[in-house]
Chain A
Amino acid sequence: MKIAILSDIHSNLEALQACCRKTKILGVEQYICLGDIVGYCADPVATLELVMNLPGIVAVCGNHDKAVLSGNFPNARESVQQAIVWTRRQLSEKHTDFIRSLPYSLHLQNIACAHASLYNPEQWQYLYQPDQVRQCMDATQATITFLGHTHLPILYYDNAMGRIKLMTPQEGIPVPIYQQRRYVANVGSVGQPRDGNSAASFVMYDSELAEITFYRVAYDFTKTAKKILESDLASDFAKRLADSAWEF
């Protein structure tokens, strides 16, 4: 079965639609969403509707999703805080109920999913250090763990000596997954990539071939940016779609 893993959509409808077009061509049968469906961009309702209607969708919650429910985003910048409040105003009860139903992590056969890490997922830590990746790997028996949160597509694996190593995946090149090894794949971000590449990022997992493939999909981010500028959201969010930079 081909499973598409999407993360950090952040209300970017155009990016999500572009990814869905690509997944349709690839023959994806099931979707996993790794949270942060809302925040930053101006289409939270349409994005949530689309996510909720994806075939076989299973999802976990992200820190932005949780913040929308609580109306409070601790340690966030003021513009991000305002975006949370603005997003909350757009959502109906149906949408908030869906977000409320999302778990912090989930396991499907030999794969595990979380937004930030499987180790204390509610702490939303950013996985950069090998020790953090090791903690995440040790929190599950699953062969491969899919994460988002950092917006940077990357693949961690344990090498011949059991040390955590990383590789920057090449777009469209399948990477074989072996049962006896452990992998942590950060699928990048659909709606706000931060690796200098403005194209939306997602991963496809082929359970029959035991392969994962990272994909990038170009989309019209000027349209998304225009919507942000026409709303009450901070203009920085629009600029960031083009810059795709980690820092503003």
Chain B
Amino acid sequence: MTEKIHEASLGETINGFYLQTQWHKSLLCTLYRVTHPDHDLAMVMKVPKLDVILPPSAYAGFETEVRILSRLRGVYTPRVVGKGDMATCPYIVMEYIEGDAILQATNHAPVTVARLVELLVPLCKAIHELHQHNIIHLDIKPENIRNREDGQAVIIDFGSAHHTLMPDMYIDSHEMAPRTPDYVAPEQIQHIRNEFGSDIYALGIIMYQLATGKFPFAYSNQITLYKKLYLPPTPPRVYDETLPPWLQEVILRCLQRHPHNRFTSAKQLAYMLLHPHMIKLSRLAELKQKPGLVEKMRFWFAARRDKRQSSTLLHPRERIIRVHHVLVALDLSHSAEELKQALHTTLQRLARSDRQCFFTVLSVIESNEFSFSKGVDEENRQAHSTNIHCQIELRHWMKTLNLAKNRVNYQVIEGTAASEIIGYARHHLVDHIIIGARGSSTLRRYLGSVSSKVVAEAPCSVTVVRTQINQSTKEKNVDPEL
């Protein structure tokens, strides 16, 4: 097969793509910076290596990458500009993305907690997007993450990825699948490829690296790789006692041996990084010493008991959607009691029927509410006090739902209601918005219909809650004889 296939090389022009310079070379492929008269953007061509004796997996990895990238459209993966015939001249031309902020940061680790969060949140969103498409990357590491100018993370190199709805070329040939030992998850060592928690584990390693400048497990050979299965990781606070307990909790939760004990989704991880007060701290948060012999023995026995982990039949998307992030948009000052009650009942039903969903209760204070203030300081003080007052009201309103602390978060934002709600939903990848419809037509005329704008522009499903009392009143107004 390889005799017939042409491997593109430097200086050649293939289908209009001129191979200008060699950018990167590895055992399995070569990357060239290319130009094309019809395309202005910076591009890179990936060509699989065919001139050496390589395992069949080398070609399968490239095939997998072409298959996955050709199907994805979006900001989280490089745009595919062209691809060659797999049977005659295999190559793929992708958009070149300059930024490598995470790689740079890991090279200069440790970084501050704020910087860590700033770098990780876009990465979590990118990985969540892949999981939404039932793609498990399985080789997440700083080298495979690029950044756009706006900070958005872009995932590259899908050579060992697995699309759970496609034939997996590495199934039962795991030894052939390219992987990076430092970032590999325990289940990957056990040859499980359909567990998207493996990517969450890799995120944990990257966070560990950024926070401490070290790896939780020192890798030197295949035997030490198995430490991940039988030994607990060294807590990051052993290296830096000043790290906040919540960060250690987050990192160690990502590094749990069993994937089901990690975060349910990368989106959830991003949310926790942005809202550390929502994290329920366990004994993991307070660990400040390397695991002792007893701890190691306990972990080892637990690992022995828990034999090869059975992989789940659920596709990533099916599992992700089980944990619903619900945004409740509440206008405390302008909503009638009946509407608040109706919203409350809706939430009560949802919280009871779906025990895994978590809520953000958002109240937007219209900007003009502060306009009467004179000085900036006075305005800030006014805003701060209104904010606190609102938070107290929201908490009081939600109290009767009896939700666990880590299931509900309160946010008070100043701005224009509809755009703030939509913006929040976009930023935090909210799954469902619940909003009340303003019953009073006078208020609606004055303030505009927030719910209709949210329905029109929201990135997710929206439930608009109405009170039946309002409807009957309206009917009465329309036809007084009734």
B63 CB-CB contact with A under 8 Å? yes
Q: Which of A163-197 contact B (CB under 8 A)?
A: 163, 165, 167, 170, 173, 175-176, 178-181, 183
Which of these binds chain A: B170-178, B215-223, B376-384? B170-178
Is the CB of A42 closer than 8 A to any CB of chain B?
A: no
Partner of A178, one of B86, B171, B172: B86
- A76 interface residue (CB < 8 Å to B): no
Interface status of B67 (Cβ within 8 A of chain A) = yes
- The answer for the CA separation of A24 and B165 in the assembled complex, in Å, is 25
CB within 8 Å for A160 and B167 given contacts A178-B63, A180-B1:
no
With a CB–CB cut-off of 8 A, which chain B residues contact A179? 86-87
Whole-angstrom distance from the CB of A209 to the nearest CB of chain B? 10
A162 at the interface (CB under 8 A from B): yes
Interface residues of B in 238-282 (CB under 8 A from A): none
Of all chain A residues, which has the CB nearest B5? A180
Chain A, range 123-166, C-beta contacts under 8 Å to B:
155, 157, 159-163, 165
- In the bound complex, CA of A25 to CA of B168 (Å): 30
Total residues of chain A contacting the partner, CB 8 A: 18
Give Cα distance in the complex from A155 to B177, angstroms.
22
Residue of B nearest to A175 (CB): B166
Q: Mark B56-67, 1 if CB is under 8 A from A, else 0.
A: 110111010001
Known: A170-B165, A175-B166, A175-B167. A162 touches B87 (CB 8 A): no
State whether A159 touches B171 (Cβ < 8 A).
yes
Instruction: Please measure, in the bound complex, the distance between the C-alpha atom of A162 and the C-alpha atom of B57, giving whole angstroms.
Output: 10
In the docked arrangement, what's the CA distance between A162 and B176, Å?
A: 12
**B169 close to chain A: CB less than 8 A:** yes
**Contact size class for B?**
20 to 34
Chain B facing A: main interface SS: loop
Question: Pick the contact of B173 from A161, A176, A178 — CB < 8 Å?
Answer: A161
CA distance A175 to B166 in the complex (A): 6
- With known contacts A176-B67, A180-B87, A159–B60 Cβ distance under 8 A: yes
Chain B residues whose CB sits within 8 angstroms of the CB of A162 once the complex forms: 56
B55 interface hit (Cβ, 8 Å)? yes
Cβ contact of A160, chosen from B56, B67, B86, B87, cutoff 8 A:
B56
Most buried by B among A159, A160, A175, A178: A160
Chain A's closest residue to B68 (CB) is A176
Which among B59, B67, B166, B170 has the highest number of chain A CB atoms within 10 Å?
Answer: B166
Contacts A160-B176, A160-B177, A181-B63 known; 4 new A-B pairs at CB < 8 A: A155-B167, A160-B60, A161-B56, A167-B166
Chain B residues within CB distance 8 Å of chain A: 1, 55-57, 59-61, 63, 67, 70, 86-87, 165-173, 176-177
Closest A-B pairs by Cβ, 9 of them: A160-B60, A160-B57, A161-B173, A157-B167, A160-B169, A179-B87, A160-B173, A173-B165, A170-B165
10 contacts between A and B (CB under 8 A): A157-B167, A159-B168, A160-B57, A161-B172, A165-B171, A173-B165, A178-B63, A178-B86, A179-B87, A180-B59
* Chain A residues proximal to chain B, CB less than 8 Å: 155, 157, 159-163, 165, 167, 170, 173, 175-176, 178-181, 183
